[in-house]
Structure 1
Amino acid sequence: MCGRFAITLPDDAMARLFAAAPANDLPEVPNYNVCPTNRVHSVIAQEDARRLVAMRWGFVPHWAKTLDDGPLLINARAETVAEKPAFRTAARERRCLIPASGFYEWTKDADGRRLPWYITARDGAPLAFAGIWQLWEGDDGRPVTTCAIITTDANPDLAHIHHRMPVVVAPEDRALWLGEAGKGAARLMHPAPEGVLQAWRVDPAVNSNRASGQALTRPI
């Protein structure tokens, strides 16, 4: 799964990287501890143009009565995203890219304590997670754009840490994922190639969703 990540790029750098026009209400950066239900940056393609927008991390199906109606859907499995009623329309029609500088996963020691790892691209480049999104409108009529990160089996670099990982979309595949380059996005939902990612242990301080600061990503 993917339950926490970091984003450190300034908004203008993200906009240039993804050739997207930035919205005016983007989340504050840097954020070294992005948690579920936080607002996140997301790249979408609409009307032949890319936009960098804010979304709530936690996909809310259109039939939900409230934002908290049902389980918190922060991830969607690549193997079933095209079949699950909550996700299947979004998988066909509403795909997005979620920028990240890195993400966290956990192992456990012999005493059951959670040991966090920070995972980044080996070359230091920003990551782009495959995502899906949904515009949800509550009873009060106020729309909220929500999203989920698609996950797949872990590659050999990460399998010793966790059996799942986010789908990382390579730069040359981003137009296809966003629907700008025709059909075939389903073939992108696979693990990142071996050697692309690296991981190191970080301080257990990140176990708290209230923790913040660059020190959360430093190796220990």
Structure 2
Amino acid sequence: MCGRFVLALPAAEMARVFEAAPANDLPDGPRWNVCPTTQVPAVVAGEGQRRMVSMRWGFVPHWYEKPNGGPLLINARAETVATKPAFRDAARQRRCLLPATGFYEWTKDEDDARLPWYFHPADDGLLAFAGIWQDWGELGATCAIVSCAAGPSMEAIHHREPVTLAPEDWPLWLGEAEGKAAPLMRAAPEGRLLRHRVDTRVNSNRVEGPELIESIDG
């Protein structure tokens, strides 16, 4: 799964990488501890050019009577995203890319304390999470990150990981190219992601700063 991530680049630079026209209300960056229910940049297909827009991380199905009218849906499982009532229409019609420079995952020690790990691309570039979105009332667009079974970079830490898409797959996921998007929902190949332990300060959603991604592996 993915419950926290990092955006170490300004919105303008991310828009350049994704060849997208940035909206005026994108959240400020960089951000070192992006949490659910906050606004995040998302890339969607547009008429002639992609757009980078602001979305609330935490997908709200159209039938919720209020934003907290059901579970907080920050992730959507790849295995059921096309059939689960909350997600199936979005999986067919409303897909997006969610930029990140890295993300956090946790293990536990013998005392059940949460130990955070930071995952980032081996080439220090940008990640593109596979996402889906849904408009909901005063919240505007809300989104979830698609997750899949853990691959070689993640399986020792957690049994799930966010689906990360290579640049050549972005047009297919966004519906800009013909073809089936389902085969893209797979784990990152071996070597794409690196990881290291980081300080437990990141466990608090109130803490920010570049020091959160610094290695404490020794």
TM-score, structure 1 length as denominator?
0.97
User: Hey, what does 1:176 align to over in structure 2?
Assistant: 172
| Counterpart residue number, 1:58 | 58
- The structure 1 residue matched to 2:149, chosen from 144, 148, 153, is 153
Name the CA distance, whole Å, in 2 between partners of 1:69 and 1:180. Answer: 34
Partner in structure 2 of residue 29 of structure 1: 29
Partners of 2:192 and 2:81 lie apart in 1 by 24
* Secondary structure of residue in 1 paired with 2:212: helix
Q: 1:80 aligns to what SS in structure 2?
A: coil
User: Secondary structure, in 3 states, of the residue corresponding to 1:103?
Assistant: strand
- Residue 47 of structure 1 and its aligned partner are, at CA, apart by 2.4
Distance 1:69 1:27 in 2: 25
- How many Å apart are 1:124 and its aligned residue? 0.6
What's the counterpart of residue 49 of structure 1?
49
Taking the aligned partners of 2:20 and 2:3, their CA distance within structure 1 comes to 26
Residues 143 and 37 (structure 1 numbering): CA distance in 2 closer, same or farther, change over 3 Å?
A: closer
Counterparts in 2 of 1:203-218, with a 5 A limit?
A: 203-218=199-214
Bigger mean CA deviation after superposition, 96-105 or 4-13: 4-13
Q: Give, in whole Å, the separation in 2 of the partners of 1:95 and 1:177.
A: 7
- Identity among equivalent positions (%) equals 62
Unaligned runs of 5+ in 1: none
Tell me if structure 1 keeps the 8 A contact 2:153–2:188. no
- SS of the residue 1:192 aligns to: coil
Post-superposition shift, 1:143? 5.2
- Give, in whole Å, the separation in 2 of the partners of 1:143 and 1:125: 30
RMSD, aligned CA:
0.8
Q: How does 1:66-215 map to 2 (within 5 A)?
A: 66-137=66-137, 142=138, 144-215=140-211
Mark the runs of 5 or more structure 2 residues left unpaired by the alignment: none
- For 2:66 and 2:51, the matched residues in 1 are separated by 27
1:208 Cα deviation (Å)? 0.4
